Structure 1
Amino acid sequence: MKVVSLAARTRADIDAQVAKVLRGLGNPEPPVDLRFVRELLRLDRDYYSTTDDGVLRATLSRMLVAGRQVLQRPTLLRDAVRSLSLKALYLPDQKRILLDRDLPALKHRWNEAHEIGHDIIPWHAGMFFGDTAVTLTPACHEIMEAEANYAAGQMLFLNSRFPEAALSGPPRLDNIRALGKLFGNSLTSTLWRFVEQAHDGKPMVALVSGHPHPARRKEDFDPLHPCRYCVESPPFRDRFAGVSEAGLFGLVCSYAGAQSGGPLGEGEVLLADQNGDDHVFHFETFFNGHEALTLGVWLHARIRL
C-alpha cells in the first residue's frame, strides 16, 4: 500500500500543533517521553486485550460513537476491535487512549503517539462526532489515519530535530538503526521518517513487507499486493510515479536471501523514470523477524553507451 501524501498546508498545520506540544514540554532532548505528553494534554491511557475484554466492557457505557452511546449496541466496540484487528483506540469524549496489551512494547509507543495525533489535530474531533455517512468512508478514514501518522512521526522524532540528525550520516540502514535508538523508536518508523524527511533531494523509497524469499513467505502472501507499506520521498513520487509496489518487491526478491533474520542482501537495481530513462538505485533489505525493511536510494542516471 502506497502511503497517502498530505498537502503542504496540512503538514504545516500539523507541524504547528506538534510544535506547540513540544514547547509545552520545554523542547526536550530525544527520546520524547509520552508520559509527559499525556500529562500536558490531560489524556488517560489504559490497555485492553482481545482475550480479556474487561476494559472494553467497562468503557462501553461511557463511549460515544458519532454522538450515540455504544450502549445501544453493547458489542460494537468489542466486535470492531476483533474484526478490524485494531491495535489502539482513541476515545475523544473521555480523553482516553486504549492500547492492545498483547502487542510488543515498542509498538505501543507508535500506536500511542498515533492516537495522540488524533487528539491534537483540531479538525479530527469534528470528524469523530460528525456525520457517519461522510466520516466513515474509506477515503476519509485513510486521510485521517495518514494525518495521525504524520503527527505521530513529527512528535516522536521532534519535528526538525530528526532531519538535522539524519542528514549527518549516510542513507543506509545501519545509520537508520542508530537513529532509531537515539530517538527511542522502532526501525520501521525510523525508516519511514528517514525517507519522508531526510532524503536531501534524492529519490528514495522504503518498503515494509513480508519476507521476500519464496521459501519464507507466509500462506496469505498476495503477489499483487506484496507490501504492507510503500513510502516514497517527494522526489521519488514526482519522478518515478509509474513504478509499482509489485515491481519494487520483485527487485528485492532478485537479491534477497532466505536468512531468518538480519541483513538479507543488497544490490544495485534499475528503475525507469516517467520519461523512460533508467536510473541506478542502491537497495538493501533487513528482516527483523516479523517484517522485511527495504531502503532504496538513487545513485545516478544510467550512462548510455
Structure 2
Amino acid sequence: MTMLEPEIGEFESKDIREHVNRLLRDLGWPEPPIKLEEARAIQKLDLTYYSKTDLNLLDEIAHKTKLAGATILGTARKMTEVVEKAGLRGLLLLKENDKKIFIDDEVVQLKRRFLIAHEISHDLLPWHRSLLMGDNEHTLNPGCHQMMEAEANYTARKLIFHGDLFQREALDCKFSWNSIKALKHRYGNTYTTTLWHMVCERDPDHPAFGLIGKHPYHSDIGSRKSNSNVAYFPRSKAFRERFSHVSSEDLFNVISTYASRNKKGPIGETELILTDLNGESCVFYMYSFSNGYDLLTFGYFLELHKSLVGFEG
C-alpha cells in the first residue's frame, strides 16, 4: 500500500517553521549543508548507534523508551521483536537530563542524516516532547501517532534544507533532474529527500508529484514488504487539491509505458494529460531516475492542453 502522509495543518506548519528558524538562528544561520551534530549539541541530544544483537543496549532502550506514547516494559528479546516488526530504524529516548537518539547501525550512512534530523525534530517540537515525556498510560491512537511522524518528517526536511532557503534557491532554477542533483549536493541530502522537498516545497501552489518505488523491469529495485509498486507518493498542495482522484498506481502505469530496462541512471521521460477536478485537461512532464535502490519519478504541470477545433470550408 502506498504511504500517504497526513496533511499538516496551516497553524502547525507555521509553528514548525518558526521552531526550525529559531534553531537555525541559534546555529548562526550556517551555509548548507547543516551540521546535525551542532544542532544536537544545542538540543543537548546524545547519539548512539544500536545493533539488534546488542541485548544489553536493547534492554536499556526497552525499559526507558516510549513507542507511540506507550512505555515499553518488555525484555530485550521483546524489544527486538518490536524493532523488527515495526521496522524501526531510529528511536528517541526522552528522560529528564537524559536525552538520547538511537539509530540502527545497519542503516547506510547516507540515510542516517534524515533519521537523525527526524529524531531531533521530535525533541524540537514542544507538543511532541510533552506527549513523549508525559506519564500517560494510554497509548496514542494510530491517527495521532501518524500525524506526529508526519510532523517530524516535515520538520526534519525543513531543517536539513535550511528553512526557506531551499525554496528560494529552487525557484531560481528549472524543475529538472539536474536541479535536483545540484540541490542534493548543495544541501548534503539524498536524492529521495531532495526530490520530495522539490515536489512539495519549491512551489506548493504549482501541481507536482513524486513517486518512489519499484522499477517496472527489475524486482530488486524498490522492493518492500508491502509489495506495492509505489512506496511513497509526495504531492504539492496544488496537486492534492486539484488531482486528488489521481492515484499512485495510475501514474506507475504511465511509467511502465516509457521506462527503459536500465538498472541505474535515467530511465525515461514523457508528457501526459491529466484531467483535474474541474474537468480541465492539463499537460504534465514526467521523468524517472534509478539510484539502484528505488525508482525516483517526478511530474509537474506544464500547461493546459490546447484542443484543436476544425472547421469545414
Q: Specify if TM > 0.5.
A: yes
The answer (yes or no) to whether the contact 2:68–2:145 under 8 Å persists in 1 is no
1:279 is paired with a residue whose SS is strand
Aligned partners of 2:213 and 2:223 also within 8 Å:
no
**Which of 17, 20, 24 matches 1:18?**
20
2:84 and 2:219 map into 1 onto residues whose CA distance is 30
The yes-or-no answer on 1:259 pairing with 2:262 is yes
**Counterpart for residue 8 of structure 2:** 6
Question: Which amino acid letter does the alignment assign opposite residue 253 of structure 2?
Answer: G
For structure 1, which segment, 110-119 or 74-83, has the greater mean C-alpha deviation from structure 2 after superposition?
74-83
Q: Is the 8 A contact 1:34 1:113 kept in 2?
A: yes
Aligned partner letter, 2:290: F
* Cα offset, 1:3, TM superposition: 2.6
Q: 1:257 to 1:215 in 2, by over 3 A?
A: farther
Shift of residue 133, structure 1, vs aligned partner: 4.2
* Separation in 2, partners of 1:33, 1:285: 30
For the pair 1:206 / 2:210, whether they are aligned, the reply is yes
Q: Which amino acid aligns with 2:5?
A: V
Residue in 1 aligned with 2:311? none
Query: How is 1:14-93 mapped onto 2 (pairs within 5 angstroms)?
Result: 14-63=16-65, 70-71=72-73, 73-93=75-95
1:163 and 2:156 aligned: no
Q: What does residue 103 of structure 2 align with?
A: 99
Matches of 1:68 and 1:234 in 2, distance apart?
33
For 2:48, what is the secondary structure of its paired residue? Answer: strand
C-alpha displacement of 1:226: 2.2
So what's the TM-score if we normalise by structure 1?
Answer: 0.92
Q: Deviations over 1:114-173 (max 9, x none)?
A: 0111111111123223646451x2211110110000110111001011011111111011
Answer with 57-66 or 151-160: which moved more: 57-66
> 1:261 deviation in Å?
0.6
CA distance in 1, matches of 2:66, 2:270: 52
Structure-to-structure mapping, 1:183-198, within 5 angstroms: 183-198=187-202
SS at match of 2:23: helix
In structure 2, relative to structure 1, the CA distance for the partners of 1:165 and 1:89 (3 Å cut) is: same
1:237 alignment partner in structure 2: 240
Task: Answer yes or no: is the 8 Å Cα contact 2:70–2:138 preserved in 1.
Answer: no
Name the CA shift for 1:66/1:252 in 2 (closer, same or farther; >3 Å).
closer
- Listed as ranges, the gaps of 5+ residues in structure 1 are none
Residues 217/65 of structure 1: CA separation in 2 closer, same or farther (3 Å cut): closer
Structure 1 residues 48-57 or 227-236, which shifts more? 48-57
Cross-structure match for 1:122 = 126
Q: Any idea what the Cα deviations from partners look like across 1:37-56, whole Å, max 9, x if unmatched?
A: 11111000000122444432
SS in 1 for 2:233: strand
- The 2-side partners of 1:154 and 1:218 are apart by 25
Displacement of 1:291 = 0.5
Partner Cα separation in structure 2 for residue 130 and residue 298 of structure 1 = 48
**Counterpart residue number, 2:282:** 279
Number of residue equivalences: 303
State, as a whole percentage, how many aligned pairs show the same letter.
Answer: 34
User: For the Cα contact (< 8 Å) 1:134–1:140, is it kept in 2?
Assistant: no
Q: What residue ranges of structure 2 are gaps of 5+ in the alignment?
A: 309-313
Separation in structure 2 between the aligned mates of residue 164 and residue 112 of structure 1, nearest angstrom:
25
In the aligned structure 2, how far is the partner of 1:156 from the partner of 1:79? 31
8 Å contact 1:282–1:296 — kept in the other structure? yes
Match of 2:249 among 246, 251, 274: 246
RMSD: 2.3
How much does 1:78 deviate? 2.2
**1:34, 1:167 → 2: CA distance?**
25
8 A contact 1:167–1:200 mirrored in 2: no
The 2-side partners of 1:68 and 1:298 are apart by 43
Distance 1:7 1:63, change over 3 A: closer
Q: What's the CA shift for 1:275?
A: 2.2
SS in 1 for 2:15: helix
